[in-house]
């Protein structure tokens, strides 16, 4: 199977469901608590703590790093937990979501409307994922602990296109 190398500037509308990708660039971690805060901030007319336009969000809550490490365990969490908040972020320019599991019909419709993709990471492969992370910086909501938003720099993160920008899905 051919792997497509992508980064934050890649036109994700070229990807098709089932494509293998290798992602290098900036990815923000955010789980449901951070998503809730971001959508509430937007609804209140406040700026988001990250530039969401063209961004990639990885649904993960990394554990603390041990001495000498960049990050602790950083496996994907269930993406459906973010579904209530995702259409708002997609409307604001979010282009790539990374997680595991199915997405709601509302999220898929918003992906189609906004030209975004949903990539899946292999659950249980936290050590592999961790090896692709070259830098980690906490950027927002430190009070959320492991659910704070972190800016990760990743190199050759292996992912699979689960739902493409046309709404075609490999998930049943």
| pLDDT attached to residue 128 | 84
User: Residues 30, 39: contact at Cβ < 8 Å?
Assistant: no
User: Residues 147, 5: contact at Cβ < 8 Å?
Assistant: no
**Chain segment 47-60, per-residue pLDDT in tens:** 999 999 999 999 99
Catalytic residue selected from 21, 23, 35, 60: 35
Percent of the chain with pLDDT over 70: 99
Indicate the domain borders of the chain.
3-7+19-163
Establish whether 35 is a catalytic residue.
yes
Q: Give the global pTM.
A: 0.96
Task: Report CA 95 to chain centroid distance, whole Å.
Answer: 9
User: In the numeric block, which tokens belong to residue 58?
Assistant: 């990885």
**Chain segment 72-126, per-residue pLDDT in tens:** 999 999 999 999 999 999 999 999 999 999 999 999 999 999 999 999 998 777 7
| pLDDT attached to residue 127 | 80
CATH number of 3-7+19-163: 3.20.130.10
């Amino acid at each position: 199977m051919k792997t497509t190398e992508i980064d934050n500037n890649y036109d994700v509308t070229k990807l098709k469901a089932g494509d293998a990708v290798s992602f290098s660039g900036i990815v923000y971690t955010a789980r449901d608590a951070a998503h809730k805060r971001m959508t509430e901030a937007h609804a209140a007319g406040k700026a988001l703590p990250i530039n969401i336009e063209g961004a990639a969000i990885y649904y993960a809550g990394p554990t603390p790093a041990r001495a000498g490490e960049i990050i602790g365990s950083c496996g994907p969490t269930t993406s459906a937990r973010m579904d209530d908040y995702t259409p708002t972020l997609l409307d604001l320019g979010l282009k790539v979501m990374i997680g595991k599991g199915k997405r709601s019909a509302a999220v898929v419709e918003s992906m189609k409307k906004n030209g975004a993709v949903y990539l899946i990471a292999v659950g249980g492969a936290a050590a592999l994922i961790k090896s692709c992370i070259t830098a980690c910086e906490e950027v927002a909501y430190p009070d959320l602990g492991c659910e704070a938003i972190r800016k990760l720099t990743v190199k050759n993160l292996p992912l699979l296109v689960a739902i493409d920008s046309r709404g075609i899905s490999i998930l049943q």
